[in-house]
Each structure stands twice: as C-alpha cells, then as structure tokens.
C-alpha cells in the first residue's frame, strides 16, 4: 500500500489496513522531509525524500506504529557558519488507541482522519534526535567575537586595550613614576 503525498506531506492510509488483533504489516515507504529552521539557520534534509520502514501491529486496543529511516542534514556550522552536515538514524514508536474517547496520551497526534502523517512524525523525530549544536567539526573554534574572522582559518587573539575605569587612577599614577 503506497503512501499518499499531499501538499508536501506524506500520509499513509490506515483505513484500508483492516488488521485483526495480533496481525502485523511492514511497509517500505518514501517520506518527504521538510527543511528545519534551528537557531535562526536553515538545515536541509538531503535527499528531501527518504526510504523508511513502517511497521504496524494491531494490539487488542489499538495500533503500535514504528518508523525507521536514516537522514543527512546540511546547513551552517553553529559556531563558524561553514558548511556542516549531520547524519542521523531515526527509530521511533507511537501508539494509537482504537477508542476515540481514549486520552490524548493514548492517541497519536500523527493519526488524523485515518491517515498516518509520516512527514510530520519524521520531522518531530528528527528534531528530538538533534544534538545541542550542529558543528562542521567537533573542535570548531568559531568566529572571533571582536573582528569576526574565522578562528579555524586564522587563529589569533586581540590585546585587551580597554582599561577598566576602576584602575584608571592607578594607571595615571604608574605613568607619573
């Protein structure tokens, strides 16, 4: 059963599954991924469509859903703005109760109108898997806070020329001696 792509969102039709208790279904699906805006920077999934493994298991009271895929994100290093990439392997799981009256914690937000929203689920799974910083190199020195030069290419220091006003009187005394 192929997923549907509507308006850049990959959806998988659940209505036609008709799984009985204890039955499972494994599907290879293509999921369209959206770019990420993180820390004011844009990170692009490359390619923007990934092959994913979708597993659906019918439990007594609902569906056990699993999604797995690998993705590479491209964008700027958070320290020096050089090109950076990040490889992630995503394995996520959701549960969706059959009973519409079940609490929100038992009903997956990714199941809407008997459609499993794969793109939204994948986006949120990637967001949860991201490290604190996306760097082109773990030892990235960043940009100089004074002049803005890339410290990876031109390591340097600036001499602190600003005199603390609390020491100004002593500095004047030293100059007299």
How confident is residue 146, by pLDDT bands cut at 50, 70 and 90? confident
Over the stretch 7-60, which tens digit does the pLDDT of each residue have? 457 999 987 778 888 889 999 999 999 998 888 899 999 999 999 999 999 998
CB-based contact 62:98 (threshold 8 Å): yes
In the structure encoding, which two tokens stand for residue 92, read together? 């996520």
For the cut 80, the answer to whether the pLDDT of residue 177 exceeds it is no
User: Mean pLDDT over residues 49-75, rounded?
Assistant: 95
CA distance 18 to 38: 39
**Torsions phi, psi for 127 (to 5 deg):** -60, -40
CA distance 70 to 76: 20
Over the stretch 78-133, which tens digit does the pLDDT of each residue have? 999 999 999 999 999 999 988 877 777 888 999 998 899 999 999 999 999 999 89
Predicted confidence at residue 101, as pLDDT, reads: 76
CB-based contact 135:78 (threshold 8 Å): yes
Q: What proportions of the chain, in percent to the nearest 5, are helix, strand and coil?
A: 15, 40, 45
Total number of residues shown for the chain? 177
Alpha carbon of 6 to those of 15, 31, 117, 119: distances in Å? 17, 11, 10, 10
Predicted confidence at residue 160, as pLDDT, reads: 67
């Amino acid at each position: 059963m192929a997923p549907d792509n509507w308006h850049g969102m990959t959806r998988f039709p659940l209505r036609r599954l008709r799984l009985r208790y204890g039955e499972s279904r494994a599907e290879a699906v293509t999921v369209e991924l959206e770019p990420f805006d993180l820390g004011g920077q844009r990170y692009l999934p490359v390619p923007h469509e990934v092959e994913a493994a979708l597993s659906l298991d019918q439990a007594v009271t609902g569906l056990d859903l699993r999604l797995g895929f690998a993705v590479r994100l491209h964008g700027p290093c958070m320290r020096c703005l050089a090109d950076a990439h990040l490889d992630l392997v995503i394995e996520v799981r959701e549960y969706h109760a059959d009973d519409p009256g079940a609490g929100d914690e038992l009903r997956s937000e990714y199941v809407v109108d008997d459609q499993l929203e794969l793109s939204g689920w994948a986006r949120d799974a990637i967001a949860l898997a991201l490290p604190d910083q996306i760097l082109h190199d773990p030892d990235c020195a960043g940009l100089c806070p004074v002049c803005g030069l890339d410290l990876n290419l031109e390591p340097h220091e600036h001499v602190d020329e600003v005199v603390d006003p609390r020491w100004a009187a002593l500095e004047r005394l030293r100059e007299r001696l």
